[in-house]
Every structure is written in structure tokens, then in C-alpha cells.
Structure 1
Amino acid sequence: MQALYPDIKPYQTHRLAVQSPHVLYLEESGNPEGIPVLFVHGGPGAGSSPKSRCFFDPEIYRIILFDQRGCGRSEPHACLLSNNTLALIDDIEAIREFLGIHHWVLFGGSWGSTLSLAYAQAHPQRVLAMVLRGIFLARPEDLRWFYCEGGASRIFPDYWQEFDEVANRRADESWIDAYHRQLHGDNELAKMSAAKAWCHWEARCSTLRPNHDVEEHLLDTHTAVAMSHIENHFFRSDPYLQENNLLGNMAALAEVPAVIVHGRYDMICPLDNAVSLHERWPSAELFVVRDAGHSAFEPSMSDALVKATDEIAEVLVRQFSGEGA
């Protein structure tokens, strides 16, 4: 089984001012002359972590991490102003231009797969290849699966009960709307309780087997506040997601090579997301990981993702050296 590459440190960090008031954290590691790869983190609002660098061979890849608006080390923290999918697409293009990159590989999981697809459809000429994990198409049925009764709640009824209790839902409210009310109320303790409960529900459902590290990361106060507010904001009112047509726009990526990796027991983004995407993307390969859920850090999932980035690197190195001509 292929393990993650060893921990490395960035050789360069940046602060990139985009649309006011947002300033993005951006870093580079690995080989400065290597194949550029952008790690597009999930959430929205989860931020990147040092382990995000470890899916890539640092001798081959120029590894670029950034924290999306309002999360991680970007500022202002948990800011919802001008924070939406179209703005994030523009941010990725601004990063590419700032770093002087002509085209690059995209690596995104969960919400990161959504944003990677949205960016690639807007700028297909800038994308060399894609590695996507835990596909989230952000359709109404995908949100209902995870944030309404009758979907994931039937698999994890005990975890859902806690999520439901903190929502304190009124009769006419959805769970997303109830959490919006809690997260933006006047009671600071209730707000923090809602932020933690929102993220705890997701963390508990992320892995096939309980994983303390995943829960600890998402329940960190800094992460939980940003992720709960930004996810709730996007899922409740983002215009791009409400008009979402990722599957309908797949013709733009017909020639882009890709590897799709999805856990068979993914309870956050069920496997039909990946199957539906693959049906519309003949140039992509689909790998179903038989003993994994949603998280990129389950051993079998990490194995598949590292093998995918190695495979993409081999193809691109051959292509640019002329050996595959």
C-alpha cells in the first residue's frame, strides 16, 4: 500500500489580496521547477493543512496550497462578505496569474472537487489534468441526503439526534435554516455550540471507522467557526450552487484527463455522485475504494490518491519530454 509522502515545509508563503476585504494565504512546496499542482481543500471553509502537501511527490511537483476566503490562515476569519463560488473561481485564476503559471493540475476532494470542476469548466485551457476525491455535485438531492431526515440520518441516527437537538428547529425551518439562525444569534455559547455540532456531524460521518484525528481537526475552534458559517452560507444561499449545472457543463472537460477516487462507503457524498460524473466524462478514470468512506486520510483512500498523482505525473513527464509523442 502506498503511504503519503513525508512531511515537508513550504519554501515560499504569500499573502494575496483579492476582492476586499479578503487576503488569501498561499504557499509553495516541493520542486519549484516541477509540475504545478493546486490543492483545492474541502468544506467550503475547512482550510488546508500541512498533510495536504503529502499527496504529491515533492521531487516532481510544485505543490501549491491556499486557504479559501474566510478560512484557515486567510483573512478576515469566517468572513461571508463577497464569499461565493464565482468569487472563489476568480481567486484560483488570480493565484495562477500571481504565480506565473501557464497551466496546472488540480487536486480536490469533497467541496474541493466541486470547486475544481467549476474552475476547470470556466478555464479548461488552464487545466493539465485533475485528481478528484469524494465527488460532491452540490445538487439539491445531495444537500437533502446529508442535511435532512431520510438520508445519512438513517445510517447514523444517534449522531443525527445530537445534530437535530442543537438545531432547535422550528416547524417551518429546514435544518440548514435552523443552523443559520443559531450561528447568527446573540447568544455566544449557543453560536459556538452550533458551530461545533455542525462540524461534529460531518466529522463523525467522514470515515468508515472512527478517526480521532479527523474529528479533532474539524472540531478545532478556529476551523469549526469558519467551516460551519461558510458551509451554511454557501449551501443556503450561494447563487452558483442554486443554479448548479456541473454535469451539464462537462463537455468543456471532454479532453481533460482525470482520475476520480471515491469511497464505496462514503456517507457524506454517496457514490452515485462519482458515477454520474464519470458517465459524462469518458476521459476520466473512476476508482472505487472498497474499504473507505469520505476522508482523504483513510489508509486505502490515501493509497489510491497517491497512486493517482504518481500516475498523472508519469503521463505528464512523458508528454513534456516528448517520449509519449
Structure 2
Amino acid sequence: MLARPGGAELYWECSGNAHGRPAVYLHGGPGGSLGKGGYRRRFDPAKHLIVGVDQRGTGRSTPWAIDDLDSLDTNTTQTLIADIDALREHLGIEVWLLHGVSWGSTLALAYALAHPARVTEIVLTAVTTGGRDEITWITETVGAIFPEAWDALSRDVPTGRRVVDHYAQLLRDADPAVRSGAADRWDAWESAHISLDPSWRPGDRHADPRIRQNFATLVTHYWSNDCFLTGADTVLARAPRLAPIPGVLVHGRLDVSGPAVIPWRLHRAWEGSRLRIVDTEGHGGAIEMELTAQAIDEFAAAR
């Protein structure tokens, strides 16, 4: 655990070769976690010092967002960037490769833009950049494909108000029943729009009610604030600055939750990037993970 300002403690783990090329994995969400550690399979353990970290407020980091709602406003992208760089310093790492999946790709890009001298390469899967248009798509526009699920999500939202703003408020309500109900409805919506993914299987996406509520609280908090990356500070606006850093973007053509135009626009703005689209997969399938591991291997071989 790494102690951080405000009483937060970050869970981190290392594996692989202690003297290998450092690489850090940034998980999805916001509100996800390292889970059972499957991310490690994408790195050659003989070649890499593999670092994983549960982001502030989730996973095995403490306290969880739902247990410290008074401090939620201090949980921002900029705070997470500071957390990640504090971990780098704590581990005595000079530079490292960044690997992020889904929200983790937005966080990796934001970190690289803040600390370009600390980044050797970037490998992103199921790419997001945290833009307002992406948030509008995944919380409202994609409802045209899932009208029943979107009606259940949005029917009580006041006219003219963003759905995500409404849920961010509900998930901070003083009444636990209001928070719990909002988390359940949000989880049902997340499960609906990912259901067209070819690798999706029926079942409880978040069987534990505390996990459901923590995930919903963090994701709506970040999305309601446009991932704390607005105006001239959006990732896409600053993407040309990434040109000196080589990167690989891996994305599924059938990703309904995050259309392929997202990595396409990033690739066009980032001169140092390569884009791999997998026509048969959605939001992070097996082939995408194979291509991700291949890209990481290629960067290791080139050094």
C-alpha cells in the first residue's frame, strides 16, 4: 500500500523480472480494478517489471469512494496522475511503458501528456479519450440502439438535464436507498449497451451491490465532470504533443460502447501512433488482447 494525501492508500503489485523493462497497467472504469490479475498475461515476465495499481477509491485501494463521499471531489484525473507518478518514484522507476484498457487508456494518455519524459511507449486497448462527445454517446446517443434500456435509465431525469449529471447527484444522495437504486439502474444500463459485444456472456456484471454502487459512483462522477479534461486540456486537443512517444492503439470494430472513430481521431492527431482495428470484436476481445501483447513484445525487442 502507498499512502497518499487525504488519507488514501493505493494498492500496488509488482511481478515479472525485477530488473526488466518497467511497465505499468492502468485498469478501466473509472471504478474498475486489477481484478484477478489477468493483465499480467500481456507482458513477458522475463522481460518486464510489471506494475499494477488499483486506482484511488476502488479495488484494494482504500477507502472506497462510497465510503468517503465527502472526499469524492478530490478524486480527479489530475489526482490519479499524481498518484501514478508518486508510485513510480516510490518504486525507483525512471521511465516506463504505459498500458491502459478502456478508461485506463484515457488515464494513460493524460499521464503521458503530463509527464512525457517518464514514458517510453504507450499501448492502449478499447481506446477512449474522455471527450464530452464520447460521454454523450455512451450515456445518451447509443440509447437509439437500446431504447428500452435507455428509457428505464432516463425516464425520471428532468427535461434538459444530462443523464450522467442526474445519476452523479443521485449517487451522492443522503438516502442510502436512493444511492442503491441509482446504482442498480446504472449497472443495468452498462450491461445493456455492452450486450452486443461478440465476447459478452449473460450474467451478473457486478453481482456484489457494493461493487455496483462504487463503480457507478466513480464512473458518473468522472463522466459528469468530462473526466476533468476540458477545453484546451482535452486529450484530443493535446494529442499532437504525443508525437515523440511511439504508441499502438488496438480497438474492436464492433465496440458499440466506444465507436472506432475514437481511436481513429486519436491516431490522426498522434503522429507516433499505429492503429489496429479488429473487425470481429467489440470492447476488448481475445484477438485485441493478443495484438496488445504482441505490441508490448515488439517494443521490448526494439530496445
TM value normalised by structure 2: 0.90
Alignment equivalent of 1:270, drawn from 230, 235, 259:
259
1:266-322, CA deviations, whole angstroms, 9 ceiling, x for partnerless residues?
A: 11221111011101112211000111111x3x222222222222222222xxx2xxx
Paired position in structure 1 for 2:183: 195
How many equivalent residue pairs?
295
Please state whether the residue corresponding to 1:105 is helix, strand or coil. strand
Please state whether the residue corresponding to 1:62 is helix, strand or coil. strand
1:285 equivalent in alignment to 2:271: no
Alignment equivalent of 2:139, drawn from 121, 139, 147:
147
> Within 5 Å, which residues of 2 pair with 1:130-209?
130-148=122-140, 151-165=141-155, 168-206=156-194, 208-209=197-198
CA distance in 2, matches of 1:308, 1:172: 44
CA distance in 1, matches of 2:271, 2:157: 43
Paired position in structure 2 for 1:31: 17
**Identity %, equivalent residues:** 34
CA distance in 1, matches of 2:59, 2:132: 27
CA distance in 2, matches of 1:224, 1:54: 26
Alignment equivalent of 2:91, drawn from 96, 99, 103:
99
CA distance in 2, matches of 1:96, 1:200: 37
CA distance in 1, matches of 2:55, 2:227: 18
> Is contact 1:235-1:241 (8 Å) kept?
no
1:166-206, CA deviations, whole angstroms, 9 ceiling, x for partnerless residues?
A: xx212242211221232223443332232132233223433
* CA drift at 1:239: 7.6
* CA drift at 1:219: 4.4
Paired position in structure 2 for 1:249: 238
CA distance in 2, matches of 1:285, 1:200: 35
Paired position in structure 2 for 1:258: 247
Paired position in structure 2 for 1:70: 57
CA distance in 2, matches of 1:100, 1:40: 18
Paired position in structure 1 for 2:40: 53
CA distance in 1, matches of 2:81, 2:11: 16
| Aligned-partner residue type, residue 69 of structure 1 | R
Cα RMSD (Å) of the superposition? 2.0
Please state whether the residue corresponding to 2:55 is helix, strand or coil. coil
Q: Which structure 2 segments of 5+ residues have no match?
A: none
| Aligned-partner residue type, residue 51 of structure 2 | I
Please state whether the residue corresponding to 2:81 is helix, strand or coil. helix
CA distance in 1, matches of 2:187, 2:300: 34
Q: Which structure 1 segments of 5+ residues have no match?
A: 1-14, 320-325
Paired position in structure 1 for 2:297: 310
* CA drift at 1:163: 2.5
1:60-100, CA deviations, whole angstroms, 9 ceiling, x for partnerless residues?
A: 21111111110011111114141001111111110100000
Please state whether the residue corresponding to 2:123 is helix, strand or coil. strand
| Aligned-partner residue type, residue 201 of structure 1 | W
Which range is displaced more, 257-266 or 247-256? 247-256
* CA drift at 1:217: 4.9
Paired position in structure 2 for 1:124: 116
> Within 5 Å, which residues of 2 pair with 1:224-235?
224-235=212-223
| Aligned-partner residue type, residue 311 of structure 1 | E
Please state whether the residue corresponding to 1:95 is helix, strand or coil. helix
